[in-house]
Amino acid sequence: MDEKRLVKTSKTLSRVLRHDPGSVGLTLDGAGWVGVAELLAALAGAGRAVSRAELDLVVENNNKRRFAFSEDGLSIRASQGHSVAVDLGLAAAVPPAVLYHGTATRSLEAIFRDGLLPMSRQDVHLSADTETATRVGSRHGRPTVLRVDAAAMAAAGHEFRISANGVWLTDAVAPRYLSRPTDDARDRSVR
């Protein structure tokens, strides 16, 4: 599978498994799973045929590990990022003291006014490192990285969960827990 097809297939899977399973006639179960055979048949029926071998390549080679197979390999789901209602069954987890959120600089005024909100998704997505946050922010324009005081949030009773692909999830982040990176050495690369 060439790189172009790999990316196109990954984007199709993201749309179907995170946002619009009905576009190919699928319904996800309550935890976001759908049978692999059912998915492949639905994609083929919608004119977007993908073989099981191609699906395996997309899941294995996606640098963001967006998708996961069930233990028996018969079902698949997106690891996080859903705009459709699903319960991934992720247990509460103790976050690192600081997490990061990548965004476009044009969004900063609204974020510092309203905080980080899930918008069309179920959760706010946070990263454990600035490199990942920068990549995420760059998808939306000129990136900037915000520091999230996850320790203070957790101490105040906010719940965090971590997805199968290492993305930290929480319901929202109030402005008081947000700051711009400081000039210390580990943050200079994101300025």
In order of their start, the domains of the chain are: 3-78 (1.10.10.970), 98-190 (3.20.170.30)
pLDDT for res 121: 87
Q: Tell me which residue of 70, 18, 25 sits closest to 44, measured CA to CA.
A: 25
Given a cut of 70, whether residue 188 has pLDDT beyond it is no
Residue 180 region by backbone torsions, left for phi larger than 0, else alpha for psi between -120 and 50, else beta: beta
Count other Cβ atoms within 10 Å, centred on residue 120. 8
Structure tokens at 155: 């101490």
User: Which of the four pLDDT bands, split at 50, 70 and 90, describes residue 19?
Assistant: very high
| Region 8-14 average pLDDT | 93
pLDDT for res 160: 98
* Burial of 155 per CB tally in 10 Å (0-12, 13-18, 19+): exposed
Given a cut of 70, whether residue 182 has pLDDT beyond it is no
Q: For residue range 78-89, what is the model confidence (pLDDT) as tens digits? A: 988 888 989 999
pTM given for the model: 0.79
Given a cut of 90, whether residue 190 has pLDDT beyond it is no
User: Which of the four pLDDT bands, split at 50, 70 and 90, describes residue 62?
Assistant: confident
Determine the Cα–Cα distance for residues 111 and 137; give it in Å rounded to an integer.
13
